[in-house]
Amino acid sequence: MPRHASPLECLSETRDELIAISRSRTGEVRMVERARIVLACLEGKEIQQVAQQVGASVPTVSKWRSRFAHDGIRGLRDRARSGKPPTYDAAFRDRVLALLEQTPPAGQAQWDGPAVAKRLGASVHAVWRVLRREGIYLQRLRTWCVSTDPEFATKAAEVVGLYLNPPLNALALSVDEKPSIQAIQRPSGYVETDSGAIVRAMKSTYKRNGTLNLFAALEIASGQVFAQTTEQKKREDFRRFLDAVLAELPTDKEIHVILDNYCTHKRNADWLDKYQGRVQFHFTPTSASWLNQVEIWFGLLTRKALRGASFANKDQLRSAIESFVTNTNQHPKPFHWRKREVKGSQLRNTIVNLRN
């Protein structure tokens, strides 16, 4: 006599879950098929009937029927498999990171993926996978500047204090110059790349039509900018610019001017005496001009008004700068101070130290 499988039973909640899996349009196909096999078995059908109904082999139906009877829905999931032993394991990762600390091949200033793969006798794709997993980008470059000023803390606290808590009945100005802004004439437009992307393009050749110097003063509390273009950046030009700025400010307020250590900003005691103590200079630490907030505004000017622009002469360049200043002052907004000191201990000298 033919053998019959023992009846298969389950709770109503389990049956509902199996029905949901069997009707899923986004789940794994194999889980959908296994759920349908079990549901057909729960209806009391023979294994051969179920195999014919779902289009599977008899051993397959028998396997998942048995798994469900023993472990429930959990038994329908694949068990963990050892898989093929990895060709590139943790030891390979360590070899890649260690190699990056060694001198690059002759003729190269730094390591790249192909050079690492060649030295290790490995696949370049395996090297790139390691680098991506570790978040290492060999072609990207960042710079840092750590001030060596022995009075850094005192000077920085003085400047940042003006940003965060300026004196009463006083105005704080962040002042600097952007020298040698070139009036470059170069046609530009849009082109389609081989991949179909539309990008901005500029002609490889260009014409220089002179340079301008820009003095700028950022009023810290309001974000208003005072600016003036000049042909030179001598001490006399710097003083004339400050005279023009002070003429527009209230005479009953003290003026605190934040400056870097450029030569034209020094040796101005006779000019300061003219204002009888109303104006005070505060210098950023050596090699820490990034503490001067007007540098942020210069960055915005470069990105939005200068980079990629074309100027037939210096007058067009001057007009573009003045238009940007006007737009800034229509809706001025102060900058929120978010800088922090970079300590030498934060600079990691090796890839291994950085990743561990």
DSSP letter string, 202-232: E-S--EEEEEEEEEEEEETTT--EEEEEES-
Share of the chain above pLDDT 90, in %: 60
Q: What is the pLDDT of residues 267-313, one digit of tens each?
A: 999 999 999 889 999 999 998 888 899 999 999 999 999 998 999 99
pTM attached to this predicted model: 0.66
Residue that has been written with the tokens 């000077």 in this structure: 155
Question: pLDDT confidence of 130, banded at 50, 70, 90?
Answer: very high
* Rounded average pLDDT over 74-87: 82
The DSSP bridge partners found for residue 279 are: 255
Q: Give the amino acid at 315.
A: D
Residue 341 has pLDDT above 60, yes or no: no
Q: Give the amino acid at 118.
A: K
Question: pLDDT confidence of 114, banded at 50, 70, 90?
Answer: very high
User: What local confidence, expressed as pLDDT, does residue 144 receive?
Assistant: 74
Residue 121 has pLDDT above 90, yes or no: yes
Q: What is the pLDDT of residues 31-76, one digit of tens each?
A: 999 999 999 998 888 899 999 998 999 999 999 999 999 988 898 9
Q: What is the pLDDT of residues 155-183, one digit of tens each?
A: 988 998 898 888 888 999 999 999 999 99
The string over 150-164, giving b where at least 16 C-beta atoms fall within 10 Å of a residue's C-beta and e elsewhere, is eebeebbebbeebbe
* Rounded average pLDDT over 7-36: 90
Q: Where are the alpha helices (DSSP H) in the chain?
A: 12-22, 29-42, 47-54, 58-71, 90-99, 113-120, 124-134, 152-164, 235-247, 269-274, 294-301, 314-330, 351-355
Cα–Cα distance for residue pair 226/175, rounded to 1 Å: 9
Helix 47-54 and helix 29-42, axial crossing angle in degrees, nearest 10? 140
Q: What is the pLDDT of residues 175-225, one digit of tens each?
A: 999 999 999 999 989 999 888 899 989 888 999 999 999 999 999 999 999
What's the maximum distance between 2 C-alpha atoms anywhere in the chain?
120
Share of the chain above pLDDT 70, in %: 94
Cα–Cα distance for residue pair 345/352, rounded to 1 Å: 15
Q: Which residues contact 128 (CB under 8 A, 6 or more apart)?
A: 113
Cα–Cα distance for residue pair 239/264, rounded to 1 Å: 9
* Rounded average pLDDT over 131-147: 86
In the predicted model, what is the mean pLDDT of the chain? 89
Question: pLDDT confidence of 1, banded at 50, 70, 90?
Answer: very low
